Structure 1
């Protein structure tokens, strides 16, 4: 094997392994330890040309005769990927990906094959979840994502059919953003403060897995920057439920540990706390979005929540609960 071939192969081995010893390398290539040392110095010299940090080494030596890539610097020169993370960090990311159920079984398998190196020590901890994994989409999400991302980058409109509540409607829309929330990838076709209704014709966000017959059209008109969809603002205002609507402040009394509300709605303020029947009741002011999605979330809390204001929302919840009780009338 030529020296330059050996250098490339050594670099590949270093990216796939956390550490390599000088003895492993001498046995692998049948060369002297001084040759391996020269090879390591050559790799440092070449890789170092892409790094601004003169005081940091791209190849570390945690102990004598042991070599390891500086993964932080590797990422800075554009050669980083998830498989280069420390195993416990990679496990955390893979857990999130699997738990999202956002991909088909095949798509998840393809992702894991790329993201998990052969020496990933926690592979067995994922085995059960992968074996019994059931993805939400029935068709490839990646094919649709690729087409929609092209529409966004080229500022082109798209047409598609969309089914909701057993009704299929044809749409022509300008896509502002792709975002992920609660098992689904969505597109936003308007600012998140716009109308979002149970009526399919009035939708401004769409689950990508429910979109069919997507076609690229001509260029469309983009909204001014201050009117564009802001996914992080939506997350702060609605948690994982991503309901659109006009900005609103809602005051509630929460009859359980408030952490379940505080974590979901970062834009909150604790107004007061009191004790009722030996239990702590927390009064909270939430900055959120109005609309049917807000009512859905409030109703999901059952007896743990009471709406204080606005009055019209309180009345809407009361009317909804009366309708629920009617379902149980014999």
Structure 2
């Protein structure tokens, strides 16, 4: 028999093996640590008490130590409250990989930290294998810009209501413009992170005022430089910017005035329209024909409408209907 070990070492060793998904056999552990089986049982009971107390925490621990008759030993069942399940970590990993929002270096770092910090030890190998192929073939976007720190710094300025000055490039072959802005929200859509902000300019008294009555949208990877100005902007509770409501009404991150539109959908199931436009509602229904109303910001909606072909007809406003007609005619000319 081995020399008797300390209680702390025994309990930590048993707990670590249980967390790794291993089975604990009382007789084997008693021999391993130089104690009797009743002592090992008391150690297991101490771990059970510890887990029970964690049930009352901020992120309740759903784990418990149970006896497995097949393994003839004790195992850890359930999952830790702060941990993610196999399904959750796999879903989030797939979303991150599919978004292509980060450079390859960034995505590898994010996935590694997330798996190592949020996945139970016994599931790590499986999760890594399930995403390994897609992670290996991950294709980063052309701009190859590291944006994680930029996201945090801009987010801090949003929270603290700081005016910031940005140098912004509209594209690879265009110049850089300087803007002073009130940052409002960070959004993600179609591969890119965007900053919603009001462009401001000084009035005759030198006070900054909004240049437009709707926010501009800036791709964050195209913000070349930014600096915090020593000036705050005020936002009343009633006038606060609600990015969730804005997100419902924006398409492809094209800003502009708010429009009320009406469409006709020709088909059996209007679900694609209702899913794409969160503010959409059916106002009239006939056989294979649905009249739908919605609210949208700007002209980004045109890109999606054109992708629907003959299934969608714009009814109003008339200006949008005419613009849709003009775009269709321009497309037809390409094939004439």
* TM > 0.5 fold call: yes
Q: Is the 8 A contact 2:181 2:198 kept in 1?
A: no
- Deviation of 1:11 (Å): 5.0
Q: What's the counterpart of residue 293 of structure 1?
A: 300
Q: Deviations over 1:220-271 (max 9, x none)?
A: 21322332322221333346x3444443321111234422111112322223
> Gaps (5+ residues) in structure 2?
200-209
Q: After the TM superposition, which of the residue ranges 130-139 and 59-68 deviates more from structure 2?
A: 59-68
Q: What's the counterpart of residue 282 of structure 1?
A: 290
SS of the counterpart of 2:105?
Answer: helix
- Deviation of 1:63 (Å): 3.7
Q: What's the counterpart of residue 104 of structure 1?
A: 103
Q: Is the 8 A contact 1:250 1:310 kept in 2?
A: yes
2:319 corresponds, among 302, 312, 316, to: 312
TM-score of the pair, normalised by structure 2: 0.76
Alignment partners' CA distance in 1, 2:149 and 2:30: 42
- Could you say if the C-alpha distance between residues 128 and 57 of structure 1 is closer, same or farther in structure 2, counting changes exceeding 3 Å? closer
Would you say 1:181 and 2:189 are equivalent positions?
Answer: yes
Q: Deviations over 1:132-191 (max 9, x none)?
A: 111235121112112212323433222221111424211222222222222111121149
1:223 corresponds, among 235, 242, 245, to: 235
Q: After the TM superposition, which of the residue ranges 61-70 and 289-298 deviates more from structure 2?
A: 61-70
Alignment partners' CA distance in 2, 1:281 and 1:147: 48
Bigger radius of gyration: 2
Would you say 1:135 and 2:123 are equivalent positions?
Answer: no
Alignment partners' CA distance in 2, 1:319 and 1:293: 15
State how many pairs are aligned. 304
Q: What's the counterpart of residue 204 of structure 2?
A: none
Q: Is the 8 A contact 1:44 1:57 kept in 2?
A: no
Alignment partners' CA distance in 2, 1:28 and 1:282: 73
Q: What's the counterpart of residue 146 of structure 1?
A: 152
Alignment partners' CA distance in 2, 1:328 and 1:210: 34
- Could you say if the C-alpha distance between residues 225 and 57 of structure 1 is closer, same or farther in structure 2, counting changes exceeding 3 Å? closer
Alignment partners' CA distance in 1, 2:183 and 2:45: 50
Q: Is the 8 A contact 2:14 2:24 kept in 1?
A: no
- Could you say if the C-alpha distance between residues 304 and 21 of structure 1 is closer, same or farther in structure 2, counting changes exceeding 3 Å? same
- Deviation of 1:105 (Å): 0.2
Q: Is the 8 A contact 1:195 1:244 kept in 2?
A: no
Alignment partners' CA distance in 2, 1:107 and 1:12: 31
Alignment partners' CA distance in 2, 1:213 and 1:125: 38
